[in-house]
Amino acid sequence: MILKNWRIHAWVLVIVVICEFMGTQKIPLGPGVLLFLPMLYAMVIGGIVSWPRLKLIKLEEMNASSKALSLLALLLVTKLGVLIGPAIPKLLQAGPALTLQELGHFLGTVILGLPLALLLGIKREAVGATFSIDREPNIAIIAEKYGMDSPEGRGVMAIYICGTVFGAVWLGLLAGYLGAMKIFHPFSLAMGAGVGSGSMMAAASGAIKAIFPEYGDQILAYAGASNLLTTVGGIYFCLFVSLPVTNYLYKKLLPILGREKDKEAAK
């Protein structure tokens, strides 16, 4: 199993060495900076290597790589856990903030995503696409309720694929940029970074840590705690609150924001 896919690990070794030698780069842009961390290059170089037309790696190797990814995401959870331990007293103090900001994680996807999707003429796909951040546990919810052949199923899959392709890169750049603008305290940004996806959380919290090195491990402790709440709480919250709320808002907003013919149909 391992020996069969040794090439994928060799690729990772080459990529890691190149990326760590390149180091972190900052490019000022407007009021913030574009922050490029080694992990960002790693994602992009990896993506290029796996470009199907280049035929550098086989499909089964990509699948093995995806399996390694989900396993190593657990190791990241462990690393965050050992950083959370010593910070427990501080985290308890910030308990109200940690709990309430989860509402932002669970409903922020709908608030921004749903109206935009309707304005762009997307219909029932919008419900699956915006009810959550659409990682594996959320797909399971949609699969069970609507099936994967439904418009809702296509919506959730589309955002899932986007997440795999550019989610981490986007969140890394966004978090770095917002951080450098110094509007928000690093602890708030760190909590925001706990979006409930291992790679996106890593990219976002890594960027925040790089902007505010003086807060170092505290940033990771807040991000880790928030990510844990999002992941564990999300299973229930998305099923019992987010999905019904998204459906309700869809019904209310479609006649206002939808395309003309959809408005008629919705009346």
Residues 137-166 that bind other proteins (CB under 8 A): 137, 155, 158-159, 161-166
Q: Is 174 in the site for other proteins (CB under 8 A)?
A: yes
Residue 76 or 266: which CB sits closer to other proteins? 76
Member of 4, 29, 31, 121 binding other proteins (CB under 8 A):
121
Rounded to a whole number of angstroms, the minimum distance from the CB of residue 59 to other proteins is 6
Member of 127, 202, 249, 254 binding other proteins (CB under 8 A):
202
Please check whether residue 135 is in contact with residue 196, taking contact to mean a CB–CB distance below 8 angstroms.
yes
Please check whether residue 33 is in contact with residue 175, taking contact to mean a CB–CB distance below 8 angstroms.
no
> Tokens in use for 138?
């959320």
Contact track, other proteins, 22-61, x by CB under 8 A: -x-------------xxxx-xxxxxxxxxxx----x-x-x
Question: How would you class 105 by CB atoms within 10 Å of its CB: exposed for 0-12, middle for 13-18, buried for 19 or more?
Answer: buried
DSSP state of 3: T
Closest CA to 177 of 196, 204, 159: 204
Rounded to a whole number of angstroms, the minimum distance from the CB of residue 221 to other proteins is 10
Instruction: Return all residues near 105 (Cβ < 8 A) that are at least 6 apart.
Output: 133, 192, 194, 195, 196, 226, 230, 234
Member of 73, 140, 148, 245 binding other proteins (CB under 8 A):
73
Site size toward other proteins, by CB under 8 A: 133
Cα separation, 150 vs 142, whole angstroms: 9
Rounded to a whole number of angstroms, the minimum distance from the CB of residue 255 to other proteins is 20
Closest CA to 241 of 119, 87, 139, 107: 107
Cα separation, 162 vs 81, whole angstroms: 28
Q: Is 66 in the site for other proteins (CB under 8 A)?
A: yes
Stretch that binds other proteins, among 27-35, 104-112, 142-150, 259-267 (CB under 8 A): 104-112
Closest CA to 233 of 139, 101, 129, 114: 101
Member of 127, 139, 141, 175 binding other proteins (CB under 8 A):
175
Member of 29, 232, 256, 265 binding other proteins (CB under 8 A):
232
Instruction: Give the angle subtended at the CA of 250 by the CAs of 248 and 254, to the nearest 5°.
Output: 135
* Host H or E run for residue 96: helix 95-119
Member of 34, 140, 148, 235 binding other proteins (CB under 8 A):
235
Rounded to a whole number of angstroms, the minimum distance from the CB of residue 265 to other proteins is 19
- 205-224 residues in contact with other proteins (CB under 8 A) are 205-206, 209-210, 217, 220, 224
Member of 29, 82, 181, 256 binding other proteins (CB under 8 A):
82
Rounded to a whole number of angstroms, the minimum distance from the CB of residue 145 to other proteins is 19
